[in-house]
Amino acid sequence: MRSWRNNYISFALIFTGIVSGCDLIKMKDGVQESGMTSDPVARVGEQYLYPEDLEGIAPGGMSKEDSTERAQRFVNNWIRKQLLIQEAATKIEFDEAEIERKMLDYRYSLMGYEYQSYYVNQNLNAEVTDEEIEKYYQENIDNFILKQNIIRGKFIKLPKGAPKTKKIKSLLLSNLDEDKEELNSYSLSYATQYQLDDSVWMVFDEVIKNSPLAEIPNKVQFLKNQKYIEQSDDQYLYFLKIVEYRISDNVSPLEFVKEGIKNIIINKRKVELARQLEEDVYERATKNQEFEIYN
C-alpha cells in the first residue's frame, strides 16, 4: 500500500508539473469540484486532497526523489492536521463567526506585514559607519558585559607525526612577516585546526575545546599568568599564544561586539521604517479624508 502511494504521489508531481510558489490547501468534500478530473491523493473523513493541491510544493529544478519526499511530508502533515481538526470538531463547539473573524484578522495582518517588509527592503540603508557603531557602544556600554572569557591570539593543533614541530614555538612568537607567512603555509599543510589572526577576539572555551587545555581548573588564573603554552594528548600537539585577554563580567572590547552592534542598528532602522510607513499612510488618509469614525 505504501509503495503504491509513494509511486502515485511521484506520478502526481510529474502530472501536475511542479511549479514555484505555494498554494493554499483547498478543502474539498467528497464531490469533486468542477474541473477536478484526477483521483484524490489522500482522504480524511469527507475531506480529500488532490494532485492539484500539490502544485507549488517543490521548487523547479528539484530532483524527482526530493520532490517525492517533500510531497510525502506535505500529505502526511495534511492528514495529521485534518485528523486533529475532525477530532476537535467532535469534542468542542466552535464559534464559526469568531473563527472567521480571526482568519480575516490574520489575513489582513499578513498583508500589512508583507507590504511593510517590501517597503523596508526597498528603503533600508544597510550601511553602518564605524562612528555610528562607536557611538552606540559608548551610549550602551553596560549592555556589553562579557559572559565568557575571550582572547586574542594564535592556536594550532597538529598531528603528532607532523614534521618540524619544534620550530612552531619560534614561529608563533615571532613578529616577522616572513615567519608569519611560513607559519601560515605550514598550518595549511599540516594543522587539523588553527587560528592565526591575532587581531580577532575569540571565546576562550571555544578555542581550547576538545583539547587538554579544556581541563584547566582555573581558567581566569591561567589567562593572567600564561602567554604561551604547549600541550599534547595521544594523537595531537596543541600550541597556544595569548596576545590579550578579557575576563567575563568585564566590558567587552568594541571589536568583539562590533558586528552585533551593526545588526542592532540595522534592525532599529527597520523598525523605524515600518513605524514611519504606518504613520505616513495614516496621515495621508486623514488629509484626504479616506476614512471616517462614526459615533
Yes or no: say if 240 and 153 are a contact pair by the CB < 8 Å rule.
Answer: yes
Yes or no: say if 9 and 41 are a contact pair by the CB < 8 Å rule.
Answer: yes
Residue 64 has pLDDT above 90, yes or no: no
Yes or no: say if 245 and 149 are a contact pair by the CB < 8 Å rule.
Answer: yes
pLDDT at 29: 46
**What residues form DSSP beta bridges with 42?**
49
Q: Which three cell numbers stand for residue 148?
A: 565568557
The long-range contacts involving 212-221, CB below 8 angstroms and separated by at least 24 positions, are 212/238, 213/238, 213/240, 219/149, 220/149, 220/247
Residue type, 231: Q
Q: 3-state class of 238 per DSSP? A: strand
**How do residues 205-233 score in pLDDT, each as one tens digit?**
999 999 999 999 999 999 999 999 999 99
Burial class of residue 90 (count of CB atoms within 10 Å of its CB; 0-12, 13-18, 19+)? exposed
Cα–Cα distance for residue pair 41/54, rounded to 1 Å: 9
Q: Which three cell numbers stand for residue 261?
A: 552592534
Q: 3-state class of 195 per DSSP? A: strand
Which helix or strand (DSSP H or E) is residue 273 part of? helix 254-287
**How do residues 119-161 score in pLDDT, each as one tens digit?**
999 999 999 999 999 999 999 999 999 999 999 999 999 999 9
Q: Which three cell numbers stand for residue 291?
A: 476614512
**How do residues 242-282 score in pLDDT, each as one tens digit?**
999 999 999 999 999 999 999 999 999 999 999 999 999 99
Nearest to 145 by CA among 222, 243, 247: 247
For the entire predicted model, the pTM comes to 0.69
